[in-house]
Homo-oligomer: A and B are copies of this chain.
């Protein structure tokens, strides 16, 4: 079974681009990925594309062929939709196809256009990632759902708004030098605590912003990389996927995420590594509490012990295992369908040394964690760089 290399990666700026279409954003990200890879478009055998809410924000489904065209491809294309984990699933299926000899070269990526809907419209659109019948019609929004999860966590394990604020501060700090980030602005714990409450105990700075953007990566087999003498030192060595009940009310846990635990376990087994081997992680911090749940699902911490990681300095850029050196969804932004692949883009650059925060990476093994809805679906990937 061949290995899978990340031959090239590309992003658009993440931010407010309400005048740009999804195809325009994806054309830019994929162009950058091809330039970075040095792989001709004609060699691409398949596009795996993630998008979440194009039906609502652009009145556009069937984006597979549309985005293949935007990327200059004639290859067939498949659109994956798993809410905010859409392009994480696209990566996973590409990794499997390359390993299994179904293809040597795939383009993966995603795009999302959100700001044209406005804040209320986006909140309503995002709600399609929850159970419409049993959650959304009862008034649930995503800030409310993650607030419930935060309350459950605090009740069960302890923790405070200050602990969550430290995560926001860390991720804003990490984004300062990331030219693709929506917010390149430092904040303080006081700023976070003083911000308006959006759903208690969560304040405005506990939430990721509304973001337009796109991501793309060219994945190739070891054989292709060798034959074409590509400079592609980073490999995807592990992939995992997990699922859970859709609605929070049907879950066994509110303060744990079994879908992510299963995805992590599968990805670690697949790569032949354990959580202690991981040097750096990009996790799905759509809300600050979500980063805590991710750290525990990835088994970096036992349940109840992840909450203080940022405050203790363990996950900061000077820590032993920095988390969200890109700025995370919190500060870099979260164009939902683009995020899963975007994490792979950031991790690739962190590991190969051309990311502004690469100097903070203490080892060779990175993990990406991409969650859909209230973590009803998750993909986890392990990336490693040649020593």
The chain B residue sitting closest to A96, CB to CB, is B102
Contact flag A78-B82 (CB < 8 Å), given A100-B102, A128-B59, A128-B61: yes
A60 touches B243 (CB 8 A): no
B377 touches A132 (CB 8 A): no
**How many whole Å from A93's CB to the nearest CB in chain B?**
7
Residues of B close to A55: CB separation below 8 A: 53, 55-56, 61, 128
Contact flag A65-B100 (CB < 8 Å), given A59-B128, A77-B377, A80-B78: no
A66 at the interface (CB under 8 A from B): yes
A64 touches B76 (CB 8 A): no
CB within 8 Å of B: which of A38-87?
52-56, 58-62, 64-66, 68-69, 74-83
**How many whole Å from A360's CB to the nearest CB in chain B?**
33
Complex Cα distance, B100 from A297, in Å, reads: 28
A131 touches B78 (CB 8 A): no
Residues of B close to A89: CB separation below 8 A: 78
Residues of B close to A177: CB separation below 8 A: none
B82 touches A246 (CB 8 A): no
A128 touches B60 (CB 8 A): yes
Complex Cα distance, B22 from A128, in Å, reads: 14
Contact of A81 among B76, B81, B132 (CB under 8 A): B81
A250 at the interface (CB under 8 A from B): yes
Contact flag A62-B80 (CB < 8 Å), given A74-B243, A243-B75: no
Complex Cα distance, B61 from A160, in Å, reads: 33
Beyond A62-B373, A100-B101: 5 further Cβ-contacts under 8 Å? A62-B372, A64-B81, A65-B373, A66-B376, A76-B241
A-B pairs with the 7 shortest C-beta distances? Answer: A76-B243, A100-B100, A61-B128, A62-B83, A55-B55, A65-B376, A62-B129
